[in-house]
Amino acid sequence: MHEHSQARQPSARAKPMSTRGGKVSALLIGLLVLLVLAIGGIALLGGRGRPEVEPVRSDSSDRGPVQAMLEPPTPRTEAEVAANAPRPAAGYPHALRSPERYSGTARVEVHLALPPGLAVPERWSIAFQRSRSLIGAEFAVPRTVEVTGASASTVIDDVALGGYDVRPVAEGMNGRLEQVSLRRPDELDVVLRLELYERGFLTGRVVDPDSTPVAGIDVVAESAEDGSRRTVATDASGAYLFERLPDGDWRLFVGSSVTPLASASDVSFAAPSLHMRDLVTPRLGTLVLRVADANGLPVPSVVVEGTGLPSGPLTLVTDLDGRATARHCAAGDVALYATGPRGGRGDLKVHYDPANPGELTLLLGP
């Protein structure tokens, strides 16, 4: 019996397979690959700029904080301790003022210099004073060394160490100031050249508010350094002259330095000369006083004292005519008190006006 097989026929026509989904998958895979390659390239390029990791050092200074706390500290030498010690704040070196630097004496050789044509004084001196600016002035010992015999040089073997202002001094001459610091370990054999030169003169005028010269009035120059004073009187033209005046700071007064009629600003004078601006006083006049007894007769040798005037107190003595005068009196209320040679007394209070001075009369009682 023969069997006959028949091929199975499909019930429907088969559809061909679509390639659209496969193309999409392949594209995504390619993009992922490119992304991975790009990330790897960026990482590779970034890694090239980084420094290589240094090997771990065995020095304790590079240990981590936990390891450094667990391990015992390594002992340091004295030199390391001193090198790592905190340094003091910057300041003035204390050693510069150490007393050890100013212990002992120095040898100072002095040579005097003068302008051409000026002879060495027969007697002059060297003044050592504590310096106003040098370090070590507190250790200086002020002294004055005399030089005689018209000698221009001298040697001083025992000058205490310290900071000094040194100046030559001679009658009627100026001495230029020199500064010297004597201290260890500097050279203690010092040569100084000191200079003397001629003094100068200061001039000016005294006038009243009308620019009228004030003649015969005192002008006082007071030194700011030592308080010494020089007094001159004006001439008929109101001019004054201070000759051979030492260099330095001065103040000028007209009249009395206690009750000055005019004062100038402080002036720094230096040779050879200086002419001052005019010194202006208030209007001044001459006070004329006549002392008489109860009968109107003049009484000589009466002492009269006056107070109250801006120009200062008065002390007068009457002459044979019973008169006394006081020049350069400023306007003001004045009280006059008279004492006679035989005990008589009298007083007078008036307002004095230089524009209308007149003659004042004071009667002397018993």
Q: What is the pLDDT of residues 204-249, one digit of tens each?
A: 999 999 999 999 999 999 999 888 999 999 999 999 999 999 999 9
Domain limit, last residue, from 280, 299, 320 = 280
Instruction: Specify the range with the lowest mean pLDDT, choosing from 30-34, 98-102, 269-273.
Output: 30-34
Q: Could you report the per-residue pLDDT of 308-365, keeping only the tens digit for each? A: 999 999 999 999 999 999 999 999 999 999 999 888 899 999 999 999 888 999 999 8
Is 85 domain-assigned?
no
154 assigned to some structural domain: yes
pLDDT score at 94: 61
Q: pTM for the complete prediction?
A: 0.61
pLDDT of residue 44: 56
Residue 242 lies in a domain: yes
With respect to residue 135, please indicate whether it lies within any of the assigned structural domains.
yes
Q: 239 with 304, same domain?
A: no
Could you say which of 172, 197, 222 is where a domain stops?
197
Are residues 179 and 204 located together in one domain of the fold? Answer: no
> Other C-beta atoms within 10 Å of 74: how many?
8
Question: Between vectors from CA 33 to CA 31 and to CA 38, what angle results, nearest 5°?
Answer: 95
Q: Is residue 45 part of a domain?
A: no
How much is the pLDDT for 3? Answer: 44
The CATH number for 260's domain is 2.60.40.10
Shared-domain flag, residues 183 and 107: yes
pLDDT over 60 at 78, yes or no: yes
Q: Rounded mean pLDDT of 16-20?
A: 44
Over residues 273-278, the mean pLDDT reads 94
* Whole-number pLDDT of residue 258: 80
pLDDT at 8: 42
| pLDDT in the model for residue 346 | 94
In percent, how much of the chain has pLDDT > 70? 76
**Residues contacting residue 188 through CB under 8 Å, at least 6 positions apart:** 104, 105, 106, 107, 161, 182
In angstroms, the Cα distances linking 187 to 26, 101, 106, 134, 142 are 99, 12, 9, 17, 21
Pair 148, 217 in one domain: no
Predicted pLDDT at 347: 95
Q: What share of the chain is helix, strand, coil (3-state, %, to 5)?
A: 15, 40, 45
At which of 252, 280, 308 does a domain end?
280
Please indicate, yes or no, whether residues 306 and 358 belong to a single structural domain of this protein. yes
What is the CATH classification number for the domain harbouring 314?
2.60.40.1120
For the chain, how many helices (H) and strands (E)?
Answer: 3, 24
* 48 or 137, higher pLDDT: 137
Q: Please check whether residue 155 lies inside any domain of the structure.
A: yes
Element housing 32 (H / E):
helix 20-49
Looking at the structure of the chain, the number of domains it has is 3
User: Are residue 255 and residue 328 in the same domain, yes or no?
Assistant: no
Taking 70 as the threshold, does the pLDDT of residue 9 lie above it? no
Q: With 50 as the cut, is the pLDDT of residue 260 above it? A: yes
Is residue 92 pLDDT above 70, yes or no? no
What is the separation, in whole angstroms, between the first and last Cα of the chain? 204
Residue 90 belongs to a domain: no
Locate tokens 């009243």: which residue? Answer: 208
One domain, residues 126 and 193: yes
Calculate mean pLDDT across residues 179-184: 94
136 vs 66, higher pLDDT: 136
Mean pLDDT of 162-179: 94
Clarify whether residues 189 and 119 are in a common domain.
yes
Are 112 and 190 contained in the same domain? yes
Banded pLDDT at 166 (limits 50, 70, 90)? very high
Sheet containing strand 123-130, strands side by side: 143-148, 123-130, 162-169, 178-182
Which domain covers residue 253, as residue numbers? 200-280
% of the chain exceeding 90 in pLDDT = 62
267 and 293 in a single domain? The answer is no
User: How far is the C-alpha of 155 from the C-alpha of 124, rounded, in Å?
Assistant: 14
Instruction: Say yes or no: 106 and 178 in one domain.
Output: yes
Q: Please indicate, yes or no, if residue 148 is contained in any of the structural domains.
A: yes
pLDDT at res. 187: 87
Mean pLDDT of the chain: 83
With cut-offs at 50, 70 and 90, classify the pLDDT of residue 203. very high
Considering the domain architecture, whether residues 292 and 356 belong to the same structural domain is answered as yes
